[in-house]
Amino acid sequence: MKQSHHITEEESTVSDWMITKSVHVLSTHSMKEVAKLYNEINEDVIIVIEQGKPIGIITGKSIVQALLDHGETRPVTEYISRNDFQLIHFDQSIIDACKLPTTNCLVVNDEHKFVGLLTYHEIQRGLVHYIHKLDQSFHSAEIVEVILESAYEGVAMVDRNGIIVEFNDAYSRFTGVDKKEAIGHPVQEIIENTNLHQTVKTGIAERGVIQYIQGQPMVVHRIPVWRNEELVGAIGMLIFEGVTELYQIYDRYQEKKQKMITEKHSRKEDSNPGQPDNYLEQIIGQSEELTKLKRMTRKVAQTEATVLITGDSGTGKELFAKSIHQLSDYKSGPFVCVNCGAIPEQLFESELFGYEDGSFTGAKRGGKKGKFKLADNGTLFLDEIGEMPLAMQTKLLRVIQEKEYEKVGGLTKQPLKARVVAATNRNLKVMVEEGTFREDLYYRINVIELYIPPLRNRERDIPLLISSYLLTICKKYNMKKKEITPEAMAVLMKYKWYGNIRELINTIEKLVILTENDMIDYHHLPNYMKREEFTIDNRLSPIHQVKQQEHIRESELIRLTLEQTGGNKSKAAQKLGIHRTTLYQKLKKFDMEM
């Protein structure tokens, strides 16, 4: 396959952005096997391979169609899509992928063997990589123009004021607005139902959202562009058109599924009232660390292995434990949580194992069921296991090893029918060395460890979490949705979040309640968050000094130009080389008289 001409020497190739560990199956697999695999992975497509070469893809749409046709046992080749993908060589330019009329590119080597997958997500990362490196030189502007015009779907770019600065031909054809008429105008005047002007205010990315343009539902991405920790613009990408057909197939599937609900399923629903559909999907974030952790959680849940969940306080260990329970064979049973740090040492044994009638003074008549019994056929979650007394550690080890236990005062052994999942925010290895945690118990509960990284190591997830909790908390208090300025968002993203997600939720709730207007700004943030932005003697840091000087010079230039034009804003905007709408926005920003 012939390689294309490279725009620059530093331009990335397809191999730099492709997914090398994409999921694939053989052409001999059945649709039932493929559907099961699709349910377990976190990918949009499955590649079908024959003798090492890609022959097609399977999508969620294909699987739904197979279910409607009762084609679970049929070979995958009957539902393979041979049109919704293109082959591309791994040495080709990432920009070449933009030119292909598809959402999936299967990457091959010189022997036409499958080596990776390139979706729009990876292509977008490549495009954003270039845009982040843009400067004001002619050569950089030329690169942007090539990228925008080679993209198959619509692409628009706005500056920090929401003014369109780039608008490719694909978007022009779809909207019917000439490119020259679009550039220089506020984006909300050109693109119907857009939210791009808000993206440049909040700095919050939106991926895969539905936007109605000319009555058609479109899937779009809105990506903020940062430069030197400053929000300088945003990119809007039209991913694909016409999701109506997919909706229709889904509706047909839902109707059929509703008719096939069995009595057993109804009983299961009754036994778990109010249970969310999927705890794992409630865990917000798109960082590489969190994506890998979710994938590992799905795999672990299907086994009988004892799991130890580690991580700082407030990272969401219990939510991961519930996810393991819900995705396991124990999901029809109860999920019983025991906080090992909240039970007095003298009551530990009776709380976990239960006790018989009259086993000790003050014992409840008739005895009491312990947590092990309450978790029968379900999951027992031992939270903060590092706080468990040494004496209880010995007994717990015996229970896990022998799969049975005795009630306090009891004479017969009872089988352990629950899966055990433990969690801690302490370093158990250090505790083993110090002699405060049993080494044999540590290795027994730590068959598989799920480490949840702290929020400070997942900066990419912070805007998504803030956006989600802003909406949730505003709904909770029946308030109009609030937004966050780029200056405030920059501070929130750099803050260390020592209390992790728990601290973030509490902070957002406080800001929602105490901020009177609809925009949460830098000055609304707690002082301890802003402190890192200043020196010890409370003078502005060098970065803020530079920004302040830039604002002063800009406002003075605008004031001088208005004086020279006698207050004529159209002439002033023309002389300044900016659009009149941009001038009005700057006048408002600098609190200058209109």
* pLDDT, tens digit (0-9, with 9 covering 90-100), for 272-329: 444 445 788 888 887 888 888 988 998 899 888 899 999 999 999 999 999 999 999 9
Q: Model confidence at 21, in pLDDT bands (50, 70, 90)? A: confident
Per-residue pLDDT for 245 more than 60? Answer: no
Q: Which residues contact 362 (CB under 8 A, 6 or more apart)?
A: none
Q: Which CATH number fits domain 456-533: 1.10.8.60, 1.10.287.130, 1.10.645.10, 3.40.190.290?
A: 1.10.8.60
What angle in degrees, to the nearest 10, is found between the helix axes of 120-132 and 138-150? 160
pLDDT value at residue 9: 36
Can you tell me the mean pLDDT for 210-237? 79
d(CA 273, CA 270): 6
For the four alpha carbons of 224, 227, 229 and 231, in that order, the dihedral sign comes to negative
Tell me if the domain spanning 542-589 has CATH number 1.10.10: yes
Q: Which residues contact 580 (CB under 8 A, 6 or more apart)?
A: 569, 570, 573
Per-residue pLDDT for 180 more than 90? Answer: no
Q: Model confidence at 360, in pLDDT bands (50, 70, 90)? A: low
Least confident of 134-148, 226-240, 333-347, 562-576: 134-148
Q: What is the mean pLDDT of the chain?
A: 79
pLDDT value at residue 593: 62
Higher pLDDT, 128 or 517: 517
pLDDT tens digits, one per residue of 126-155 = 666 655 454 333 344 444 554 555 454 688
Per-residue pLDDT for 491 more than 80? Answer: yes
Residue 107 buriedness (CB in 10 A; 0-12 / 13-18 / 19+): buried
Per-residue pLDDT for 336 more than 70? Answer: yes
pLDDT tens digits, one per residue of 37-66 = 887 776 778 888 888 888 888 888 788 888
Tokens of 136: 């004001």
Q: Which CATH number fits domain 14-119: 3.55.50.30, 3.10.580.10, 3.50.50.60, 3.40.190.10?
A: 3.10.580.10
Higher pLDDT, 98 or 491: 491
Can you tell me the mean pLDDT for 404-423? 90
CATH of domain 281-453: 3.40.50.300
Name the pTM for this structure: 0.52
> Domain 127-240: which CATH class?
alpha beta
pLDDT value at residue 543: 54
- Nearest to 501, CA basis, from 279, 359, 313, 240: 313
Q: Where are the domains of the chain?
A: 14-119, 127-240, 281-453, 456-533, 542-589
Per-residue pLDDT for 270 more than 60? Answer: no
**Residue corresponding to tokens 């036994």:** 271
